[in-house]
Amino acid sequence: MSVLERYEPLIDDVEAFYSACERPLPAAVRVNTIKTTIERAQAALSEADIPAEQTDWNPELFILPETSAGGNWPYVHGWLHGQEEVSAIPARVLDPQPGETVWDCCAAPGSKTTQLAALMDDTGRLVATDNNMGRVSALRSNAERLGVTNLAITIEDSRNHSLKPFGGEEYDRTLVDVPCSCEGTIRKNPDVLEEWSYEHVEGTAGVQKGILKRAVQATREGGSVVYSTCTFAPEENEAVLDHVLDAESCQMVDFDLPLDSRPGVTEWQEQRYDESVTKAKRIYPHLNDTGGFFCAKLEVTG
C-alpha cells in the first residue's frame, strides 16, 4: 500500500484527489500590509508586467507564475512574501487583534509569524519560538525584510516555554503550526512520500501533543489556540486534539473558512476520537487546487 492509499477511506473523490496531487502547486504571495496596501502591491505587479490573480477567499493573496514569485522588486522591498495559499489559513483563523500578546510556538521560517504581525498592525507583543538555529536565522531575515517590529524571538523547545513569560501575563492567542509528516506538501515536494514512515508519524505525534498542551497551558482563560498541520494523518491531527481535550481545560470551537473543506474524523483504524473534533477542517488538494492542510480552533476554558 502506498502512503496515500491509507487515506482513501477519508476521501470522497479519490480520482480527483490523486489527479490534484500529481499537479504542480500554484505559486502564491501574500501582500505585507505592514509596508504597503493591497492596491499598491497589485499596481506594482502590474507595472512589472507580472500577471497576478487575487484569491477569492483572501484578498491579500495572489497567484503568480512560478518564475515570478520571488524575483521582483516588490518582493525584495518587503511588499510581498511567498506563502502557500493554505499556509495563510491558521493566522486568519486565530484572528489576532492589535495590542494583544500572541505566541507563535513553531515559528520559523516566519511566513505565519509575519502574517500574524501584519494582522496585529505590528502592535502589541508577538513571541516567536523555534528550536532550530538555522531556521531562526531565516525567521529573523524575513521579519527584517517585512518590517516587523513587535516581535520577540526565543530559541527553545516549545514544550518547555515559560507559562507566564512576561511578569505573569498569559497569552491572548497562540498559534500551534507544528512540525509534521508533511504529506500535504507533495505537490511541491514529492520526495516527502519516499521519506515517510509510520514510526516517524508516531514519534512526531508525541511531540505535537506536548507542544499543543503547552500552548493551552500558556494561554489565558477565554483565549484562543489554533492547531494546524500539513498532513492527512489522523494520528497527527484528530488524535492529538483528542489527547489534549482530555488532558487540558479547553474545548473545540466552530470557525468559518471560505474554502471547501471536510470535517475532522472521529474514527480511524479502530481508534475513536472526541466527537467535537468534527469542528476541525480537513483540506484536500482537489477541493481548492491547493496543498493539503488541517486546521482546528480551541478555546481555553480554565
What pLDDT digit, counting tens, does each position of 159-203 carry? 999 888 777 789 999 999 999 999 999 999 989 999 899 999 999
Note whether 142 and 114 are within 8 A (CB).
Answer: yes
Residues in the chain: 302
pLDDT for 65 beyond 60: yes
CATH of domain 26-83: 3.30.70.1170
pLDDT for 1 beyond 60: no
Q: How confident is the model at residue 69 (pLDDT cuts 50, 70, 90)?
A: low
Locate all alpha helices (DSSP H) within 173-268, ordered by sequence: 198-218, 238-247
In the chain, where does the domain assigned CATH 3.30.70.1170 lie?
26-83
Percentage with pLDDT > 90 across the chain: 90
Amino acid at 179: P
In the chain, where does the domain assigned CATH 3.40.50.150 lie?
4-25+85-300
Catalytically active residues are 230
Give the pLDDT of residue 108. 96
Nearest CA to 156 among 136, 176, 141? 136
Nearest CA to 35 among 100, 109, 122? 122
pLDDT for 68 beyond 70: no
Nearest CA to 284 among 17, 100, 6? 17
- pTM of the prediction? 0.96
Report pLDDT digits (tens) over 80-129.
999 999 999 999 999 999 999 999 999 999 999 999 999 999 999 999 99
Give the pLDDT of residue 67. 62
The helix/strand/coil state of 226 is strand
> For domain 4-25+85-300, is the CATH number 3.40.50.150?
yes
Tell me which of 67 and 260 has the higher pLDDT: 260
Ramachandran category for residue 280: left, alpha or beta (phi over 0 → left; psi -120 to 50 → alpha): beta
